Structure 1
Amino acid sequence: MSLFLWFLTWRPSSALSLLLLSVVGRQTGLEVVQATVCSRWGATRDKSLSQDGDVIIGGLLNLYYILSAVEEGYTRLPSYEPCTSLDIEALKYTYAMVFAVEEINRNSTLLPRVKLGYRILDSCGRYPWSLQGGQLVPLLICAVSSTSIMLSRILGPLSVPVISYLASCPCLSDRTKFPNFFRTIPSDIYQARAMAQLAIHFNWTWMGAVVANTDYGRFAIQVFQEEIQGKGVCLEFTETLRRETIVSDARRAALTIEALTARVILIFCWYTDVKKLFLELAKRNVTNRQFLASEAWSTSDDLLQDLAISKVAIGVLGVAIRSSTIPGFENYLRSLHPSHRPDDEFFREFWQKEFGSCSGTESLEGVQHPFTDTSQLRVAYNVYLAVYAAAHALHSLLSCPNRDSPPGNNSSTCSSAKHIKPRELLQHLNKVNVTTPQGEMFYFQGADIPAKYDLINWQNTPEGSLKLVLIGRVDGFDLHLNESAIQWSTGSNQVPVSVCSESCPPGTRKANRKGEPLCCFDCIPCAEGEISNTTGSLHCERCPSESWSNVEQTACVPRQLDFLSFNETLGITLTTAAVSGAAVTTAVFVVFIFYHKTPMVRANNSELSFLLLLSLKLCFLCSLVFIGRPSVWSCRFQQAAFGISFVLCVSCLLVKTLVVLAVFRSARPGAETLMKWFGPGQQRGSVCLFTSVQIIICAIWLSLSPPVPRRDLGFQGSKVTLECAMASVVGFALVLGYIGLLACTCLLLAFLARKLPDNFNEAKLITFSMLIFCAVWVAFVPAYVSSPGKYVVAVEIFAILASSYGLLLCIFAPKCFIILLRPERNTKKHLMAR
């Protein structure tokens, strides 16, 4: 990138000169080298602008440029065309320097009794032409950052200060390599960071880059890539432009931009290279790309006024050198006239180019011209600051703050304009910290100044050209942006989209595609129980144990409480079955009471039959305790009610079976005394005894380790199951085991008594009922263990109801059939028949 170099040196006469190298050149024979180089490269005329003074500030500017680039074929030695076109902007920079020097000379406090002078030459932006310049010899060049690197290294051993207004290479911030270098333009690190911030801010994750094949382009793209690393931004391509082969390079870059998918293109190049690229894009009618501009071309009038590229360049968003004002500078430029500056060859050429003659009647007053436009002073203000930096360093050096120190103290020695050493001047430049005439704090941080940029946007004008619009600023690392003021390349206020893959919406996560950049990915929905609540999430987060993901997988919501409720279909079905069973049992009970004197009721121990019906009714009703929200008391009561009700029921059946066996055994000789053990009192006592054992088991279980309500956070997804947790499996096993023991005993005895001679043998009914009972509860165990959540409760209720219905139907249905529908069989004669 173009830059400006300042040197503060001394001259051997009484006045201080910043052009020490003229002496060095004569001593080392560099004039011979100069002559050789100039003859080889085709030197231009030796033009300069100078003013004598006590201290001379030397300036080397790119006042002339080559009108068109020459494509080098590498088949012969390179040959550069001479610089013949005068750069109006660079001429304005020249007079910004002159204006600053004259302003300082009028200031009676900054450098009293010291007059500043200047000597300004043209470098043409090329190494060979920089070797021209008469007394300055080939070392005074400042066209690109690499030139500043070379010059600073050469002048470093001499401690000659170099101040640049346009050298932005980050490498020049290294004080160990360039201790004598200063600049009034921020390092490219900051503009590259600002452009990376813009890409991240607007979510441009898929970009292209075109960079100059120079230190400027290479360093800038390197910093940009470092800034976007890990931020989700990728470069689809990086094209380089070389000045020597700009035509073919611009064509290749245009084809790449047209063919690939990135819609936002970053460009770190000089404006002349950008113009070639834009012209190639205009030929191909590529108008839907958003360009990010570096400060090297973001404010170029040459591009803004070119109607041929306006459709391509509309909407450019760029970083620009901050704009400032120089009071009085516009009036100064308008007052310039060749008649007042007879020795100024640069201005005379400008005047002849603009007016065609120097008759004396021409004037810049009231003329609208880029030369007199001071509305946005950017580089010119950097030149102005550089002069003031030199002046303040001289002021500090020539002042005597320790004048009153003891004579033996060396620090009391004061410098004078006749005896200034470059090393001393370098030390004072490092300490510059002043307020500019515009009220701005100015100081060096090593080689650099605090980074400040403008953010600009290229927008349409009624004439068809483009204009600059200020849409924000950069202050160090802070980005301040007015998005509503931006006109995009699409012509609307909608931010252009440039992505390889659309951002993953909340509820999904990124999954990188194998072998492709990180910016190209697929969106995978989060698994159940996991969420992502941000766009572009890399991972899904698991919800806390008490929560679950919503349907969209975007938020964790409290899990629903799930239990067997009276309001749900399953609960209603089981409740209906239980109530129906209890109602049928009650109906049977009523029938038995109504017909209690009939042989059918009296034949099979009516007291035990009524007790059995009561226990069956309790079995049906105890199932209702299992339905509803579990509580401490419901958890305890349900298992006790279940265990005791079924033991009472099975005990009645067991005693009934024993009575049947005893009756038929007593008919045998010598067995009369057997019936004494199975009288009504003994039967009631046996039932109470069997039931008491279960009551004791339940009492011990519930007192030591009872079931308790618990939230089951297992695999039930969005639901938390409320259940009665068995704190002691042993207690539950003893309850079931005791019921099973009685049931098996009853089944065995009933099976033995099934063939006893009788027209109505109840042992057969008990056998069938106990077979059903045992089958149900044997199947219950694996079903209970494997059922999830509330279905555990449903399985237990089903087992209770199924076994209860089995007992009720197998034992009492045949009896009710005879009592109600076959009353002729409900006689003692019929029952006693064999």
Structure 2
Amino acid sequence: LPFALYLFLFLFPSIIDTAEYKNLLAFILAIDEINRDPDILPNVTLGYHVIDSCGDEGKVIQSVLQILTGDSIEIPNYSCRNRGKLSYLVLLYGYSTKCKIHIFCFGFQITSGSTNSELSDRAVYPNFFRTVSGDHLVFVAVVKLLKHFDWTWVGIIRSRDESGERDVRELSHVITGHGICIEYIVSIGDTEDINQKHFTTIQKSTSQVVIVSGTCSTNCLPFFIRCKSLLQNVTTILITSWSVIYNSHSVMEIFNNRLSFRPSAFTIPGMRDYYNNISRSTRPDDPLLEDIFLISCNCVTQSIKFIIFEKFYVLKPVNCTGKKRLTDALDYTVDVPITYYHAVYAMAHALHNMHLHMRYREPEPKKHKYENELQNYIRNVRFTDPSGKKVLFNERGEIPEERFYLVNWKMTTHENRTRTQNCLVGFMGTEKLEDQELRVYEQFIHWKTGKVPRSRCNDPCPPGYRKAPSGGYHACCYVCVQCSEGEVSNITDSEECLMCPETEWPDKRRIRCIPKMYDFLSYENDVMALGFSVISVLFSLLTLLILGIFIWYQVTPIVRANNLNLSFLLLGSILFSFLCVFLFLGRPVDITCKLRHTMFGTIFSVSVSSLLAKTLMVCIAFKATKPGSSWKKWLGIKIPNSIVLICSSIQVLINVIWLSISPPFQEFDLHSYPGKIIIQCNEGSVVAFYSVLGYMGILAAVSFLLAFMVRTLPDSFNEAKYITFSMLVFCSVWISMIPAYLSTKGKDMVSVEIFAILTSSAGLLGCIFFPKCYILLIKPELNKKEHLLEKMVNC
């Protein structure tokens, strides 16, 4: 057939968009290649119509009806064509859903630009195919971009149409599902009061990132031009049709340094040579090429367009020859989006396959039969394009993209001409998009402010803090609360703090867990342990000194009159009491825990038992001095030795039972003090521990009462008064120790015990032996038998 059997309708969103003109050339190149290829649709010539929509949906429908009816008058469902066969095939690019749905009734469509996700529903739109992926992939990519730069506070500007409403609905669902908040949604309308309201909204906003979606049309441009000062430092992310904007200088300034996603591009074989051969002389009837040279090179034409363009673009006229090539006006890019190219080849292969299979079946198929067959052939088309890529439609009626590219759009000025430069600054795969990582080369991105913008509702919470609701509407607006004791957070904007293990504790900044410090009375790190050690040694030496004095003066009356053996036993027990302090110092272990309480309990029992025996012997001695007294037979060493042995044995028995049933042991207290592990001794049996203390208390109380009753006997050799004071000190110390012991933990509790031991031992030493040492060393004249007898006679 020497005429155009199948008609392609190609619709453009902009009459002078240079990027779209490159796509148109790719479209025309594919048709020319198919017409020259004898293996595809032989004897069939493909033709095309290029129609500019001017951003008007009504003009789109009007143009489609003119193509279908074959006349300048639009007559639905009627064709005025006398020859040629129309296949009802339409190629679309970049219109609202409402416009597309109106066109669907006219036949099959393969679009190279429509990304509406709703059109993937095969039950509703079985005749719709496209060579691009749906918007849902772009929305996921946008979310990954926002998360990459940690932008959680964004605004959305959309066109006031069905496309803008759909984009915002789907985009909001994806964005909010990833913890990103939308500060405002502005719908650009034609009403001045509405635009004024939105202008105020943007003016009060704090977000530094704005997503522009919906349909790019001339109705939206005045609003953006008005908001130019507000968007001067705001980064824009353009979606769908907004990724190709109008080449107005004012508009380019607003969207300078924008970010957008585009599908993968391939090198089209022969495209460079095709560009080099395009000029006004080779394409004299191309009105779009005339506009390109008019804007890019300021070429003077005879058309009235120049007057309009001169005022709109502030052009200065230049005389240009007809041989000026397209590459002189446009920056040639080897990688061109190949969707238009694939759309032509997909339809050509589908028609070719259908002709091969139907040639021998039905010479003149019915229309409904033709439609069913064509739908199947388009769905099952498979071919390899000249670039080597395998092309086929998936179950959604789409040719899946291999990658999405992140494009940074930069405006440059050269020789008084403003041009745009698209820089590829990132990419991501589309297979299992949710699992793909967005790779961004930040060093190649040109920002409006010269640095990465910060778009958050508030400053991020530093490590050591967690996010807490501020009570507002948006979840991205929150307050930072420091982690509680025992918790850390080592990341920025942590949702919650993590509890440290029991053996660890947060550092001062609460960003990491460090081992807890061990707490005990250490010789190396604790001054208190050193002080107790020095005091214990000094009192031990003092006790040895007193013992030496008593040995030296053991034959003197003052020493012999007070039971020399009990005095030596008492001094020895006091000495061991002072030395017992070292069992409480240093790191507790099981053996020291078992010895410390049992040792000081036994030693103190011997000391108090000795005082009880001394007191009892004083009472017996004075009763025995009376003539004919029967108490004389009780004098001697058997009674005091028996008292000491029996009383001490009871304490020993209690300790043996304690160690046998539930002995003390080393214990780690992890919870009493923050950041510390207290190494302490667990008493094992609390009953046994207080039994030891209680028994010592009973011995002390008995000694105190007995000494108090005989305190009025002659002072020269009567120790009852000194024993009374010593027991008063002993009981006072241990009674006051109990509440202090119960109210403290760790080394403080041990310090209370050591203080009680030292104080009570020093009280016994001072009250019992200092008066005697005073007489022995300072007043030796009182240490005579005559003086003692004189006192007795006076009594």
Q: TM-score range by the shorter chain?
A: 0.7 to 0.9
Q: Within 1, Cα distance between the matches of 2:113 and 2:458?
A: 39
Counterpart pick for 2:266 among 315, 324, 331:
324
Q: Within 2, Cα distance between the matches of 1:485 and 1:268?
A: 25
Q: Within 1, Cα distance between the matches of 2:334 and 2:36?
A: 25
8 A contact 1:288–1:312 mirrored in 2: no
Which residue pairs with 2:481 in the alignment? 524
Which residue pairs with 1:471 in the alignment? 425
Which residue pairs with 2:515 in the alignment? 558
1:281 Cα offset (Å): 3.4
Q: Within 2, Cα distance between the matches of 1:113 and 1:346?
A: 30
Q: What are structure 1's unaligned runs of at least 5 residues?
A: 1-14, 16-50, 66-84, 401-410
Counterpart pick for 2:652 among 695, 715, 719:
695
Residues 553-586 of structure 1: per-residue CA shift (max 9 Å, x gap): 0111111111111231111121122112211111
Q: Does 1:461 align with 2:399?
A: no
Say if 1:562 and 1:135 are closer, same or farther in 2 by CA, change over 3 A.
closer
Which residue pairs with 1:489 in the alignment? 448
Which residue pairs with 1:11 in the alignment? none
RMSD after superposition: 3.2
8 A contact 1:317–1:458 mirrored in 2: yes
1:480 Cα offset (Å): 2.4
Which residue pairs with 1:33 in the alignment? none
Matches within 5 A, 1:50-449: 52-53=3-4, 55-62=5-12, 93-112=23-42, 114-129=44-59, 130-132=61-63, 133-134=65-66, 136=68, 144-147=95-98, 149-151=100-102, 154=105, 160-242=107-189, 244-245=190-191, 253-269=198-214, 270=216, 272=218, 275-282=221-228, 284=229, 287-300=232-245, 302-303=247-248, 306=249, 308=250, 312-332=254-274, 335=277, 356=301, 362-365=322-325, 368-370=328-330, 373=332, 375=334, 377-378=336-337, 381-400=338-357, 421-445=370-394, 446-449=396-399
8 A contact 2:561–2:717 mirrored in 1: no
Say if 1:439 and 1:310 are closer, same or farther in 2 by CA, change over 3 A.
same
8 A contact 1:564–1:571 mirrored in 2: yes
Q: Within 2, Cα distance between the matches of 1:294 and 1:713?
A: 57
**Secondary structure in 2 aligned to 1:324?**
strand
1:513 Cα offset (Å): 1.2
Q: Within 1, Cα distance between the matches of 2:293 and 2:591?
A: 109
Look up the equivalent residue of 2:29 and give its one-letter code.
F
8 A contact 1:56–1:119 mirrored in 2: no
**Secondary structure in 2 aligned to 1:240?**
strand
Say if 1:414 and 1:606 are closer, same or farther in 2 by CA, change over 3 A.
farther
**Secondary structure in 1 aligned to 2:462?**
coil
1:698 Cα offset (Å): 1.5
Counterpart pick for 1:740 among 689, 697, 710:
697
Look up the equivalent residue of 1:261 and give its one-letter code.
T
- The sequence identity of aligned pairs, in percent, is 35
Look up the equivalent residue of 1:280 and give its one-letter code.
R
Which residue pairs with 2:533 in the alignment? 575
8 A contact 2:573–2:606 mirrored in 1: yes
Decide which moves more: 513-522 or 745-754: 513-522
**Secondary structure in 1 aligned to 2:521?**
coil
1:471 Cα offset (Å): 1.0
Q: Within 2, Cα distance between the matches of 1:660 and 1:86?
A: 127
Look up the equivalent residue of 1:256 and give its one-letter code.
T
Say if 1:135 and 1:436 are closer, same or farther in 2 by CA, change over 3 A.
closer
Q: Within 1, Cα distance between the matches of 2:419 and 2:32?
A: 37
**Secondary structure in 2 aligned to 1:723?**
strand
Q: Within 2, Cα distance between the matches of 1:677 and 1:175?
A: 120
**Secondary structure in 1 aligned to 2:695?**
helix
Q: Within 1, Cα distance between the matches of 2:49 and 2:231?
A: 47
**Secondary structure in 2 aligned to 1:185?**
coil
Q: What are structure 2's unaligned runs of at least 5 residues?
A: 77-89, 304-319
Q: Within 1, Cα distance between the matches of 2:328 and 2:184?
A: 42
8 A contact 1:531–1:556 mirrored in 2: yes
8 A contact 2:380–2:393 mirrored in 1: yes
Q: Does 1:717 align with 2:674?
A: yes
Look up the equivalent residue of 2:7 and give its one-letter code.
I
Q: Within 2, Cα distance between the matches of 1:184 and 1:203?
A: 32
Say if 1:351 and 1:625 are closer, same or farther in 2 by CA, change over 3 A.
closer
8 A contact 2:346–2:381 mirrored in 1: yes
Say if 1:86 and 1:311 are closer, same or farther in 2 by CA, change over 3 A.
closer
Q: Does 1:751 align with 2:708?
A: yes
1:399 Cα offset (Å): 4.4
Look up the equivalent residue of 2:398 and give its one-letter code.
D
Number of matched pairs: 736
8 A contact 2:235–2:257 mirrored in 1: yes
1:717 Cα offset (Å): 0.9
Residues 498-555 of structure 1: per-residue CA shift (max 9 Å, x gap): 2221111111111221124222222111122111111111211111111111111011
8 A contact 1:398–1:417 mirrored in 2: no
Q: Within 2, Cα distance between the matches of 1:569 and 1:500?
A: 52
Which residue pairs with 1:643 in the alignment? 601
Q: Does 1:599 align with 2:549?
A: no
Q: Within 2, Cα distance between the matches of 1:191 and 1:489?
A: 23
8 A contact 1:769–1:811 mirrored in 2: yes
Q: Within 1, Cα distance between the matches of 2:745 and 2:144?
A: 53
Say if 1:670 and 1:174 are closer, same or farther in 2 by CA, change over 3 A.
farther
Q: Does 1:590 align with 2:551?
A: no
**Secondary structure in 1 aligned to 2:423?**
strand
TM-score, scaled to structure 1? 0.81
Residues 716-759 of structure 1: per-residue CA shift (max 9 Å, x gap): 11110111111111221222222122112111211221223454
Say if 1:618 and 1:119 are closer, same or farther in 2 by CA, change over 3 A.
same
8 A contact 1:509–1:538 mirrored in 2: yes
Look up the equivalent residue of 1:61 and give its one-letter code.
L
**Secondary structure in 2 aligned to 1:461?**
strand
1:313 Cα offset (Å): 3.6
Which residue pairs with 1:618 in the alignment? 576
Look up the equivalent residue of 2:138 and give its one-letter code.
Q
Q: Within 2, Cα distance between the matches of 1:664 and 1:317?
A: 112
Q: Within 2, Cα distance between the matches of 1:705 and 1:224?
A: 70
Q: Within 2, Cα distance between the matches of 1:605 and 1:59?
A: 131
8 A contact 2:500–2:513 mirrored in 1: yes
Q: Within 2, Cα distance between the matches of 1:341 and 1:757?
A: 143
Look up the equivalent residue of 1:651 and give its one-letter code.
S
8 A contact 1:253–1:277 mirrored in 2: no
8 A contact 2:280–2:290 mirrored in 1: no
8 A contact 1:399–1:414 mirrored in 2: no
8 A contact 1:258–1:286 mirrored in 2: no
Q: Within 2, Cα distance between the matches of 1:339 and 1:289?
A: 44
Residues 444-502 of structure 1: per-residue CA shift (max 9 Å, x gap): 23132324432111335353654222212232223222111111111x3x311122211
**Secondary structure in 2 aligned to 1:830?**
helix
Which residue pairs with 1:403 in the alignment? none
Q: Within 1, Cα distance between the matches of 2:784 and 2:207?
A: 102
Say if 1:530 and 1:347 are closer, same or farther in 2 by CA, change over 3 A.
closer
Look up the equivalent residue of 1:587 and give its one-letter code.
L
8 A contact 2:268–2:335 mirrored in 1: no
1:762 Cα offset (Å): 0.8
Q: Within 1, Cα distance between the matches of 2:684 and 2:380?
A: 80
Look up the equivalent residue of 1:221 and give its one-letter code.
V
Q: Within 1, Cα distance between the matches of 2:54 and 2:154?
A: 34
